Structure 1
Amino acid sequence: MKNLAEETILLFVDVSEVYTLLSKLDSYPKLLAAHTCDWKFNGDICSFNYDGSTHTKLKMYEQLLNEKVVIGTYGVNTVDFDMEFLLFDVGKNRTNFKMIIKADMNPIMASMASSSMEELKDDFLKEMKKELGVDNN
C-alpha cells in the first residue's frame, strides 16, 4: 500500500482521550462530517455515503490500547484505503499523533487520489481537534 496522505502533530491532551475517541466507530460521523452522511452501524463495521453519492463501508481492523488504531474500507468500495492512527504518549497531557492514509493503487490513480486524501486528512484533523477541545497547533 502507498501512503497518500500523512501528518504528525502534537496534541495537548492525554493519549487515553485521543485513543478513546478514535477507537469507537460512532465517533467517525463527527470526524468525517465534511463529506459524509447517512451513517449506519453494525458492530465493528459502519457504512455511509461520501460526497452524497459514493457508498463506503469501514471496519475497525486493529486497536492497540493508547498506541494504535487502524480502520479501513470493507467489502466492495469505489476506493479501498486504510487510515492508521499512531499515538505516542510524551507525558504531561501531550500526545504525538500520526495519521496515515494508505491505498493500494497504481501510480496514476494514486496521484489523482492524493489531493482528495489530503483534503480528507485535513478535515479529519480539524474535526478531531474540535472533538478533543484542543487548539489548532
Structure 2
Amino acid sequence: MDSTAALKKTKQQLHESGFKLTPQREATVLVLLENEKDHLSAEEIYFLVKRKSPEIGLATVYRTLEILTDLKVVDKVSFNDGLARYDLRKEGAKHFHHHLLCLECGNIEEVEEDLLGEVEQVIEQRYRFMVKDHRLTFHGICEECQQKKKNQPTE
C-alpha cells in the first residue's frame, strides 16, 4: 500500500473512533510510513516528526502513538533494550509479523510468514483459549555477523 492510501486508511480509522487526523498526527504517520522497516522508538519518531512539524512536542508524539496503538494501526514492541518501539501493521495481515534479533549487531529482520497456524490450533484445542494474535522474536546471530566471526583470524 502506498503512503497516500495508508494515510487515507489511517484517517478513516481515526475518524471512526472519534479522532481527527491533525497535522501532527499526519506527520507522525508519515514518519512511520517512511521508516517502516526501522522499528523506531518514540524519541526517534519525535526527532523525525520535528523536521516536518517543528512545533510538535514529545508528549504529542507519545499520545499519537498510543492512539495509533489502541487502533491497531501500529504495534508497540520491545526487543529487550529498554525501549518501546513502534511497528506499522501490514494491511490485511491476520497476525503481527515476527522478528529475528541479532545478539551481536542488534539488527532486526522481519519475518512476514506466519508459520504458527498449527501451534495456534493446538493451543486453542488443548487450553480452550481463543488466540487473537501472537508475537515471536527469535534471538540469535545474523548471517553477516556469522561471516565476520568466520573470517576473523584466530590467535
For normalisation by structure 2, the TM-score amounts to 0.26
Using structure 1 for the length normalisation, give the TM-score.
0.29
User: Which structure shows the bigger proportion of residues in strand conformation?
Assistant: 1
Point out which structure has higher relative CO (alpha carbons under 8 A, 6+ apart): 1
Question: Which has a greater percent of helix?
Answer: 2
